[in-house]
């Protein structure tokens, strides 16, 4: 069974920073695209960022470009999402995902999800 364990959520004021972590197995980490998605209350799930195995190719939603950075540590089988200059509209449950197929999509295929981490940004 594929498991993805998230940590790093919390409450922060607008303009602050948080870093999310997602740890998985070596097999999962090497075989899948790793990414982050988020879902605000009453809203649809949306793509945030993704990174390929090599770490040289990264992808971001327009709403987070220049503020969020995705990275991965292949030795630790861990992917990170550094979130800077947070805005109230970033408030959502953030899900780590391991998936295949189309990289930039709100509905990834062949996907395994983390348990979710609540990120709340106060104004």
- CB count within 10 Å of CB 50 equals 24
pLDDT at 27 (0 to 100)? 82
pLDDT at 30 (0 to 100)? 79
Q: How far is CA 100 from CA 33, 42, 51, 109, in A?
A: 6, 27, 12, 6
SS3 82: strand
User: 28-83 pLDDT, tens per residue?
Assistant: 777 889 999 999 999 999 999 999 877 779 999 999 999 999 999 988 999 999 99
């Amino acid at each position: 069974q594929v498991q993805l364990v998230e940590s790093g959520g919390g409450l922060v004021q607008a303009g602050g920073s948080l870093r999310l972590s997602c740890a998985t197995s070596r097999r999962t980490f090497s075989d899948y695209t790793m990414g982050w998605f988020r879902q605000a209350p009453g809203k649809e799930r949306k793509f945030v960022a993704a990174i390929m195995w090599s770490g040289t190719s990264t992808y971001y939603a327009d709403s987070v470009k220049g503020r969020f950075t995705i990275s991965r540590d292949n030795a630790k089988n861990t992917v990170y999402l550094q979130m800077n200059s947070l805005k109230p509209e970033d408030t959502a449950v953030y899900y780590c995902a391991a998936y295949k197929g189309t990289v930039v999509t709100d509905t990834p295929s062949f996907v395994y999800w983390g348990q979710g981490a609540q990120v709340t940004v106060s104004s």
